[in-house]
Amino acid sequence: MSLSYIDLFAGAGGLSEGFIRAGFEPVAHVEMDKAACYTLKTRIAYHHLKSVGKFQTYIAYLKGEISRKELYESVPTSLLDSVVNLPISAEANPAIHKAIEKQLNGEKVDLIIGGPPCQAYSLVGRARSKDGMKGDKRNYLYVQYAKFLERYSPKMFVFENVLGLLSAGNGIYLSNMQKLFRKKGYEIQVFNVEANNFGVLQNRKRIIIIGWKQEYNFQIPDLEKIKIKSNFTVNTLLSDLPKLQAGQDSDRFLKYKTKTNSYLADNAIRNGIDIFTHHVARPHTNQDKEIYRIAVEKWNSGKTRLNYNDLPERLKTHNNRKSFFDRFKVVAGNEPFSQTVVAHIAKDGHYYIHPDIEQNRSLTIREAARLQSFPDDYFFEGVKEGILKTPAFKQIGNAVPPLMAYLIAEQVNNVLEKINV
């Protein structure tokens, strides 16, 4: 029997995807963003149709041959209802509990996963806030998380957040979390992890908190000791995709440029379907493209980053000349990992310039998703139907890399199996 979990603050489902891949069974996903909830439902359709031998229906959706409504009609309503589109809060929790308990149908849940929105703990978020986000309600969403632990009494939980959690409020939030979780009957262990140690070709530092019921006495595996050796570079993720110019999309391609490689195949990024979506490039102004070309030339000729103040005066249009000197940054194709993919990628692509000067553009949605280790058959939805750049980029930037989530899930599974013996 599969181990079950509830995903809180589920986002687009990156964390959940890793746990599903490790053999866990989702009970419910709770997420306040409507577009992300459509993404979760579409991924549920993917897993269901694959399990019942009707995968061609999902392929038809990727190709645009059927609508989202038709896709969802091919999936049991109970599965789609497991996605709960509500904000976790005192006001909404009764409705969330009702939806979850309908899915549980009297059964117990083994695990709760998920982490509250990170802006309130992130160093960048605090720097941009006038009061360091002291009054931000998101600082206290862990209290709501603890209420779910109390109500559903899982054996373990996995809480993901940004590195800034360690220093937020001079450490008071983390300290208060530990006290609250202990009060609810859970011990915790905090891990400072880096995604590139889990095989993700991205520099992404995160905090993972593993919690377990105090009645269990076992050794939690040290996530900081996971070091996946990789001989691959970021170009490994980009080289098989059709070349695009700014403003172009690949809907007319639907085919890869080359055969797969071992990294893409072994990590389930290219997983047997010879079509893909979301390879859509933003349009850019001539000025931006000129800056991109300068940035790529500097990087490819000597691995030197562009300093904004070194640009010709005619290209400098930002008033702020004293900070954010690296606001234009190339994704280093010849390095073992890229810079961190964050939600700001939804606003512009200046920090994610493609390393191929001939393409002279920022990353496509699919390329950003690959840096996060999402499989190519993962479809990112908007509220409206179709491929919409802003919600897709936002969901990708906020996500937990599925590959990292999978390796964490395997460790959690090993512990839970010992409990269940």
Domain ranges of the chain: 4-217+400-420
Residue 408 has pLDDT above 90, yes or no: yes
Within 8 A by CB and 6+ apart from 421, the residues are: none
Q: What mean pLDDT comes out for the span 178-190?
A: 95
Residue 360 in tokens:
């002279």
Estimate the crossing angle of helix 402-420 against helix 14-21, to 10 degrees.
50
Lowest average pLDDT, out of 222-231, 399-408, 411-420, goes to 411-420
Residue 387 has pLDDT above 90, yes or no: no
Q: What mean pLDDT comes out for the span 31-53?
A: 98
Is residue 139 within 8 Å of 110, Cβ to Cβ? no
- Distance, CA of 275 to CA of 377 (rounded, Å): 8
Tens of pLDDT, residue by residue over 87-101, are 999 999 999 999 999
The residue from 40, 113, 118, 387 that is catalytic is 118
Is residue 359 within 8 Å of 335, Cβ to Cβ? no
- Distance, CA of 18 to CA of 139 (rounded, Å): 26
- Distance, CA of 307 to CA of 391 (rounded, Å): 30
- Distance, CA of 281 to CA of 105 (rounded, Å): 45
Instruction: Name which of 160, 141, 151 is nearest 211 in CA terms.
Output: 160
Is 118 part of the annotated catalytic residue set?
A: yes
Tens of pLDDT, residue by residue over 343-381, are 999 999 999 999 999 999 999 999 999 999 999 999 999
Checking 143-147 for CB contacts under 8 A at 24+ apart, the result is 143/180, 144/88, 144/89, 144/90, 144/93, 144/116, 145/8, 145/88, 145/112, 145/114, 145/116, 146/180, 146/181, 146/183, 146/184, 147/93
Predicted local confidence at residue 213, as pLDDT? 95
**Beta bridge partners of residue 213, listed in sequence order:** 186
Predicted local confidence at residue 95, as pLDDT? 98
Within 8 A by CB and 6+ apart from 218, the residues are: 212, 415, 418, 419
Tens of pLDDT, residue by residue over 49-73, are 999 999 999 999 999 999 999 999 9
What mean pLDDT value characterizes the chain? 91
Tens of pLDDT, residue by residue over 278-335, are 999 999 999 999 999 999 999 999 899 998 888 898 998 877 766 667 889 999 999 9
- Distance, CA of 186 to CA of 216 (rounded, Å): 10
Name the residue with higher pLDDT: 138 or 338.
338
In this prediction, residue 110 has a pLDDT band, given cuts at 50, 70 and 90, of: very high
Q: What mean pLDDT comes out for the span 262-289?
A: 92
Overall size of the chain counted in residues:
421
Predicted local confidence at residue 193, as pLDDT? 96
Q: What mean pLDDT comes out for the span 201-206?
A: 96
Q: Cβ–Cβ contacts within 10 Å for residue 420, how many?
A: 10
Cα dihedral across residues 239, 245, 247, 253: positive or negative:
negative
- Distance, CA of 40 to CA of 60 (rounded, Å): 18
Domain 4-217+400-420 is in which class? alpha beta
